[in-house]
């Protein structure tokens, strides 16, 4: 297991009367009626994203520092979200089929 920590920027969406949480390094977003709900939803999205990226052997952007996130979002709430991700993956048949399909697609585009 490896631990991943990413800054999470929280925005108040006054039009929708809820909160939007975004991982700027990964372009992942989540919504919630409260900051806590948006955070928990974003954390779940982060875990699923990193798990799937690991299964597909995809490169994942590293996280900027907390200080960088705060300096780029001075009027926003910036939190840190941490999760543990397995570094050993067992793919389902569907996931293996998808991985094979993407691999073939990328090879055909390079030719």
Q: Which helix (H) or strand (E) holds 80?
A: strand 77-85
> Among the listed ranges 4-8, 94-98, 102-106, which one has the minimum average pLDDT value?
102-106
Whether 29 and 42 have beta carbons less than 8 Å apart is answered as yes
Q: For the whole model, what pTM was predicted?
A: 0.84
Domains of the chain, with CATH numbers?
2-110 (3.30.160.250)
The fraction of the chain above a pLDDT of 70, given in percent, is: 99
- At 38-87, the pLDDT tens digits run 999 999 999 999 999 999 988 998 999 999 999 999 999 999 999 998 88
Task: Supply the pLDDT for residue 50.
Answer: 94
The mean of the pLDDT values for the chain is 92
């Amino acid at each position: 297991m490896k631990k991943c920590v990413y800054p999470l920027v929280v925005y108040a969406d006054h039009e929708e009367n809820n909160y939007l949480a975004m991982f700027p390094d990964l372009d992942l977003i989540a919504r919630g009626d409260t900051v806590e709900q948006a955070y928990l939803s974003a954390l779940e999205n982060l875990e699923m994203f990193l798990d799937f990226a690991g299964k597909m052997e995809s490169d994942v952007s590293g996280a900027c520092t907390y200080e960088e996130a705060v300096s780029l979002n001075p009027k926003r709430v910036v939190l840190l979200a941490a999760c543990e991700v397995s570094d050993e993956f067992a793919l389902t048949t569907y996931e293996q089929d998808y991985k094979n399909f993407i691999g073939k697609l990328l090879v055909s585009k390079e030719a």
